[in-house]
Structure 1
Amino acid sequence: MATPKYQQIADILRAAILAGTYGPGDRLPGENDLMTQHAVARMTVRQALGVLTAEGLAEPRKGAGVFVRARPKRIRRRAGARLARSVWGGGDSVWSADLDGRPLAVDRIDVGEEFARPDVAGLLGIATGDPVCVRRRRYLVDGSPVMWATSYLSAALVEGSLVTSAGTGPGGVYARLADLGHAPVHARETVQARAAAPDERALLGLSGAAVVVLVRRTVATAEGTVVEVADMVMDADVYLLEYDIPM
């Protein structure tokens, strides 16, 4: 089956963007130019430009045309370095290891108690429906949202501690767990890429065809007790996940 004309035009423009012919902030050829160049109707051109917009490669500007979307500066997420006890034990945020001095902000923190879902309960070693402390945060780097993180901890384990407050103090949750006698010593992460859900697109300011990376981390003590389950939804266009694996 022949490739639709609008897709052919989108493929040509995409290749030009990826090759650097059109750089970030450059205006793509206008509708009239593309209609003439490819001998197609205006609707076909608009479909082609719509494909690039949905892919996050281009963005329309009212009255000005369609422009190549500026690619955000990557965040190199160093899984090993960021979780080292020297980081949170020294009073720093684990997120500080990712940013190389770039400004980090948390513009939304929701902390409350909920009933544990089966998947979370199974990992925490508690019963489904038992109370868990849930911490939801939205992280911004350079002023733009890049991650929505949700942490689950047994409510009985952290009752009365700063873990149940918006501000957890120097070193964050892991330092407070250590204060409670449950110092984290081991973490395991699973990584999954998928299309962003509607609520995730809204939270992270993503386009309709955006992809996110979901990292689920379980954190355990020396005794093997899982003390935190964390789900982190990241803008796949921003994050580069780095794993240092001894061999």
Structure 2
Amino acid sequence: MAADKSGTQPTKAQQIADELKAAIERGDYGPGDRLPGEKALAEQHEVAGLTARAALKILRTEGLIEMRKGASPRVMSFELIRRHGIKRLARDQWGSGKTIWSADERLPDVDQIAVSENVTPPPHIRDVFELAPSETVCVRSRRYLVDGRPVMVAESYLPQSLVAGSLITQADTGPGGIYARLTDLGHAPARYREEVRVRMPTVSEAARLAIPSERSVIKLARTAFDSEGRVVEINEMTMDSAAYVLDYEFDA
């Protein structure tokens, strides 16, 4: 096995994981198919059981397989969510009463939702909103499931003075969601900015997403501006990196 670009020789566990990954990508193993177990891999590659276990752990961390106690590892059968980053935010989505998730063609279930009013915002949120120290925000926290699997947790921050008394402060915001209600308030989103980065999850994030602590998460922060340039919402999303493809298509 050749060294990688850094000149580092891959470990035996990584070599085995790469071979299994290539077999999955070729279609030798399809969704739901069983892979060789720890003992079979150890015998096949003439390595210790710990090495075979480490190889399988690499695949699990990357979200390619699922492992259950007492059962053979299986290829993950979950279909990746293709998140259409531009189409989902178009006015004809939420403006017609659709959820922005309908652009992704896979509607999620929300199994956890909490709405808190008059919250003192974190400093970075206050700065983006340009709020005075005494001003507060409304926070909407949700966890999203697709096919019964947690895929994302999100916290939306909105100026309390803007949304007080509106449906935005209720669990059910009605057709079109937050953006349709902002339109009702005279502050329809006219422009968005999304910032994407990848990092390791916190203990709390890994627990809420039910993912291994070694798997990275996608941190996507979306800021919505009205036609006057006022920031009307900041949505901070934490996404299972093994569940998503971020798809952006736009004209040249």
Fold match (TM-score > 0.5):
yes
Which residue of 1, 4, 12 corresponds with 1:5?
12
Secondary structure at the residue paired with 2:73? strand
Residue equivalent to 1:194: 199
Residue 178 in structure 1 maps to residue 162 in structure 2:
no
Residue equivalent to 1:90: 96
Cα distance, 1:3 vs. partner? 4.4
- Mapped to 2, the partners of 1:185 and 1:166 lie a distance apart of 24
Cα distance, 1:153 vs. partner? 0.7
Q: Which runs of 5+ in 2 are unaligned?
A: 1-7
Percent same amino acid at aligned positions? Answer: 50
Residue equivalent to 1:48: 55
Opposite residue 212 of structure 2, the aligned amino acid is S
Q: Which runs of 5+ in 1 are unaligned?
A: none
Which residue of 108, 114, 124 corresponds with 1:110?
114
- Mapped to 1, the partners of 2:13 and 2:197 lie a distance apart of 31
Counterparts in 2 of 1:175 and 1:52: CA distance versus 1, 3 Å:
closer
Which residue of 26, 36, 41 corresponds with 1:34?
41
Number of residue equivalences: 244
Which residue of 165, 172, 175 corresponds with 1:160?
165
CA contact (8 A) 1:149 1:230 kept: yes
CA contact (8 A) 2:222 2:236 kept: yes
Counterparts in 2 of 1:143 and 1:62: CA distance versus 1, 3 Å:
closer
Counterparts in 2 of 1:120 and 1:47: CA distance versus 1, 3 Å:
same
Residue 224 in structure 1 maps to residue 229 in structure 2:
yes
Which residue of 210, 214, 233 corresponds with 1:209?
214
Q: Residues 144-164 of structure 1, C-alpha deviation per residue, up to 9 Å, x if partnerless?
A: 222211110111111111111
Secondary structure at the residue paired with 2:55? helix
Q: Residues 114-157 of structure 1, C-alpha deviation per residue, up to 9 Å, x if partnerless?
A: 10112111111212452100001112223322221111011111
- Mapped to 2, the partners of 1:119 and 1:155 lie a distance apart of 16
Q: Residues 91-120 of structure 1, C-alpha deviation per residue, up to 9 Å, x if partnerless?
A: 222222222xx4432111110021011211
Opposite residue 142 of structure 1, the aligned amino acid is D
- Mapped to 2, the partners of 1:145 and 1:47 lie a distance apart of 25
Q: TM-score, normalization: structure 2?
A: 0.86
CA contact (8 A) 1:149 1:232 kept: yes
Counterparts in 2 of 1:110 and 1:209: CA distance versus 1, 3 Å:
same
Counterparts in 2 of 1:139 and 1:40: CA distance versus 1, 3 Å:
closer
Which residue of 15, 23, 26 corresponds with 1:16?
23
Counterparts in 2 of 1:8 and 1:105: CA distance versus 1, 3 Å:
closer
Aligned Cα RMSD in Å?
Answer: 2.1
